[in-house]
Structure 1
Amino acid sequence: MLELENVTAYYGNSPALQNVDMHVESGEFMSVLGRNGGGKTTLMRAILGLMDKVTGSIELDGKEINNKRTDQRALAGIGYVPQGRGILPKFTVRENLMMGTFASQSNSGTINEWVFELFPILRDFLGRRGGNLSGGQQQQLAIARALLSDPKVILLDEPTEGIQPNIVEQIEEVLVKLNREHRITVVLVEQNVEFARRASQKFVLLDRGSVASHGSIDELSDDLVHRHMAV
């Protein structure tokens, strides 16, 4: 589904990600772990084409996308929920959701009802401005917006950061449901190791812009977490 080989990504002339290999199978749930500043968000940005320069190979469904623009990658099937959610505060919930439909290949402009089944609160707030929602409600909106692009794979950058515990539980349940029942491939950047262990099949552990470890989630030992995630 998504394969990176020898990927190095740059801010200006400085490499922030170095020689990264990553392979995500269709329908898989992979967690990307590591300390703050270890390269997790840079990895997401490299996949999306948002870095100054990226070398190496990035393939989606066997097709090279490293030469494609960000909008072309979205249309190819990459959904994204950025760190900080990226909600447009002056747009209503409906308008924010409509933005997700523009990245769908069908470009129907229709908000599918199933996102309201996942996040019922959004139906009640369709006319409310995004900036007037709580942090947890904004995160639900950001995930729903990404899903409306009909993604083959969805990238989420720390979706539970700064969210109240009851909403964190709901977000976890939704992501697992999307993966297990709807077979959407998930790549999750997360600091919550226990959530990663519950939800993922595989992990990649980044340290200083390089892959320090990877494998089945059962192989994510406490020792690895301590060595590469402890502050």
Structure 2
Amino acid sequence: MLELANVNGFYGTSRALQSVDLTVGNGEFLSVLGRNGVGKTTLLRTILGLMSRCTGSIRLDGGEINVLPTHKRAKAGVGYVPQGRGILPNFTVRENLTLGTFAAERPASSIPDHIFELFPILKEFLGRRGGNLSGGQQQQLAIARALLSEPKILLLDEPTEGIQPNIVEQIEDVLIDLNRKNKLSIILVEQNIKFARRASSRFAILNRGSVAVSDDIKALSDDLIHQHLVV
């Protein structure tokens, strides 16, 4: 589904991502782990084409996307839920959702019912401004908006950060179902090790902009967590 080969991402002249090789197969759930500042968000931004410069190869479904601008990568099937959610606060829930449809191959004329089956609260709040939602409701909106682009692979940057526990559990369950029932490929940047172990099929640990360890999720031992993740 997604293959990165010798990928480097730059902020100006500073190389923040270094010689990264990673693959995510069809229907795989990859959790990207690591301490703060090691390049996890940079990895997602590089896949999206949001860095100053990027070298190497990024292939989606066999096609090279590293030559494409960000909006064409979205059209090609890369969905993104950024850290901080990226909700437009003065737009209504309906308007925020409608924005997601613009990246779909066949833009929908209305919001499909399956979105409200995943996140029922959004149907109740369609006319409410995004900025008036709680943090958990905004995160549900951000995920729903990304899903409306009909992505082949969904990138999520710490989707459970700063959210009330009952909403965290709902979001976790939705993401697991999307992966296991709908076979949606997912890359998750997350600090919640329990969630990563529960949801993922594979993991990658980043350190100083490089992949330190990549393996099946069953190999994510307490020793690895202590070595690479504990501050």
When the two structures are superposed, what TM-score results if normalisation uses the length of structure 2? Answer: 0.99
The percent identity for this pair of structures is 68
Report the Cα distance in structure 1 between the residues aligned to 2:63 and 2:226, rounded to whole angstroms: 37
1:160 is aligned with what amino acid?
Answer: T
> Residue in 2 aligned with 1:5?
5
- Stretches of structure 2 that go unaligned for 5 or more consecutive residues are none
> Residue in 1 aligned with 2:147?
147
Report the Cα distance in structure 2 between the residues aligned to 1:59 and 1:205, rounded to whole angstroms: 21
Report the Cα distance in structure 2 between the residues aligned to 1:138 and 1:109, rounded to whole angstroms: 23
> Residue in 2 aligned with 1:219?
219
- Stretches of structure 1 that go unaligned for 5 or more consecutive residues are none
Q: CA deviation at 1:156?
A: 0.3
Does structure 2 conserve the Cα–Cα contact (< 8 Å) formed by 1:8 and 1:20?
A: yes
Does structure 2 conserve the Cα–Cα contact (< 8 Å) formed by 1:12 and 1:52?
A: yes
Verify: 1:127 aligned to 2:120, yes or no.
no
2:60 is aligned with what amino acid?
Answer: L
> Residue in 2 aligned with 1:209?
209
Secondary structure of the residue aligned to 1:171 is helix
> Residue in 2 aligned with 1:181?
181
Report the Cα distance in structure 2 between the residues aligned to 1:209 and 1:227, rounded to whole angstroms: 16
Q: Provide runs of 4+ in structure 1 moved above 4 Å.
A: none
Secondary structure of the residue aligned to 1:227 is helix
Q: CA deviation at 1:125?
A: 0.1
Report the Cα distance in structure 2 between the residues aligned to 1:35 and 1:86, rounded to whole angstroms: 23
> Residue in 2 aligned with 1:165?
165
Q: CA deviation at 1:109?
A: 3.5
2:44 is aligned with what amino acid?
Answer: M
RMSD: 0.6
> Residue in 2 aligned with 1:90?
90
When the two structures are superposed, what TM-score results if normalisation uses the length of structure 1? Answer: 0.99
Report the Cα distance in structure 2 between the residues aligned to 1:108 and 1:84, rounded to whole angstroms: 26
Verify: 1:68 aligned to 2:75, yes or no.
no
Does structure 2 conserve the Cα–Cα contact (< 8 Å) formed by 1:9 and 1:46?
A: yes
Q: CA deviation at 1:107?
A: 1.7
CA shift digits 1:152-196 (9 cap, x unpaired): 100000000000000000000000000011111111000001100
Does structure 2 conserve the Cα–Cα contact (< 8 Å) formed by 1:102 and 1:109?
A: no
Verify: 1:15 aligned to 2:12, yes or no.
no
2:223 is aligned with what amino acid?
Answer: D
Report the Cα distance in structure 2 between the residues aligned to 1:226 and 1:135, rounded to whole angstroms: 30
1:7 is aligned with what amino acid?
Answer: V
Does structure 2 conserve the Cα–Cα contact (< 8 Å) formed by 1:49 and 1:70?
A: yes
CA shift digits 1:80-104 (9 cap, x unpaired): 0000000000000000000000010
Q: How does 1:192-207 map to 2 (within 5 A)?
A: 192-207=192-207
Report the Cα distance in structure 2 between the residues aligned to 1:101 and 1:10, rounded to whole angstroms: 30
The alignment of Structure 1 onto Structure 2 pairs a total of residues equal to: 231
Report the Cα distance in structure 1 between the residues aligned to 2:24 and 2:218, rounded to whole angstroms: 16
CA shift digits 1:96-131 (9 cap, x unpaired): 000000010102332111010000000000000000
Report the Cα distance in structure 2 between the residues aligned to 1:85 and 1:134, rounded to whole angstroms: 12
CA shift digits 1:193-213 (9 cap, x unpaired): 110000000001001111110
